[in-house]
Amino acid sequence: MRRNTSPLSLVLLGAGVFLLVLAPLLVWYVQPQAKRTPIDIDTTTVFTGTGSFFDTGEVETVDGETITITRQVRGDVADSEKSGNAVWDVSTSVDHDGTLPAADPRDALQWTLERWVTDRTTNEPVHCCEESPTFDGEAYLKFPFDVEKRAYRWWDSTLGGVVRLSYAGEQEVQGYSGYLFKGRVEPTRTGVRQVPGVLVGRKKTSQVLAEEWYSNSGIELVVDRRTGRIINAAIGPKKTLRAPGSKRDAVVLLESKRVEFTKETQEKQVALASADSDRLAMLGETVPIGAAGLGGVLTAAGVVLVVRGRRTEPEAPSTHMMTSMHT
């Protein structure tokens, strides 16, 4: 009997081998390429809360006011592509109701412009591309991919230093679960500012270099596990002035027990985190597992059919055999 290999067996075998090769390719090459900090980012996050601020018009601290912090992050695509890093320009303004809406961020209560440069894979700081300020740590505007249940070193721009944030369990934000990290900043001197002496209790001195102090009563960040995106943030900042060498605050420049992402910002951050997380899960888990499973079944089926072949009609006797029989 003669056996032939059926086209179906070859198709099954080829498809199975293809899927078996595709599965590790997605995990080892495609997913790592997708797991990189974006460079074309353009997002705005808004914090709100109630607090106090120094009113320069009234020359005194006013209490019970709405504080709004607006942060806009834009990626410098050209510099990012040139350097191979994530180059982000970050504008942060602090406002009260009297300065909102502001056509120019320089009219805000406080305004800073920074340039952050990080490694797109590890999220480590990269000191290039006119970075300002020079910063440290491992978590900033985002955390590294694949966030772990451990403490992280988070860079606090107001402090100009690193704050240790401890893992504090899981927390839901708008129905989406993330990892919660907490920390605080004890009162720390951050610089000096020239002010009228009377402002800090030095009435006999026209101008003094007052000490700027900063503390944060509670930093709470909820982070998406896969992407490291911050889906909610709450802080309790306090900035004060002290007379030179004094151990007591003389003027409160800004204080709030808690300013937090608005509901709209939370929803937007959750939507972005969920979409990116699903994409990474698909590339790193769902599709590879499915491809490996289906590839194994198809390959096995193809091998069985190739081995068995397809039975055909018995071979006709050769002319030589027919002649011998008649003779």
Per-residue pLDDT tens for 53-108? Answer: 998 888 889 999 999 999 999 999 999 999 999 999 999 999 988 888 766 777 78
- The per-residue pLDDT for 284 is 54
Is residue 39 a contact partner of residue 75, using CB atoms and an 8 Å limit? Answer: yes
Name the DSSP letter for residue 7: H
- The per-residue pLDDT for 92 is 93
Q: In angstroms, rounded to a whole number, what is the distance separating the alpha carbons of residues 112 and 133?
A: 11
Is residue 175 a contact partner of residue 215, using CB atoms and an 8 Å limit? Answer: no
- Tokens 């591309």 belong to 129
State pLDDT tens for residues 178-211. Answer: 999 999 999 999 999 999 999 999 988 999 999 9
Q: Any idea where the domains of the chain sit in the sequence?
A: 4-34+278-312, 38-261
CA of 187: how far to CAs of 154, 191, 302, 303, in Å? Answer: 17, 12, 70, 71
- The per-residue pLDDT for 100 is 82
For residue 96, give the nearest of 46, 57, 59, 50 by alpha carbon: 50
- The per-residue pLDDT for 10 is 54
DSSP 55-120: ETTTTEEEEEEEEEEEEEEEE-HHHHHHHTSEEEEEEEEEE-GGG-S-SSGGGSSEEEEEEEEE-T
- The per-residue pLDDT for 23 is 47
Name the token pair of 52: 């106090």
Q: Which residues of the chain have pLDDT under 70?
A: 1-34, 102-103, 282-327
- The per-residue pLDDT for 152 is 97
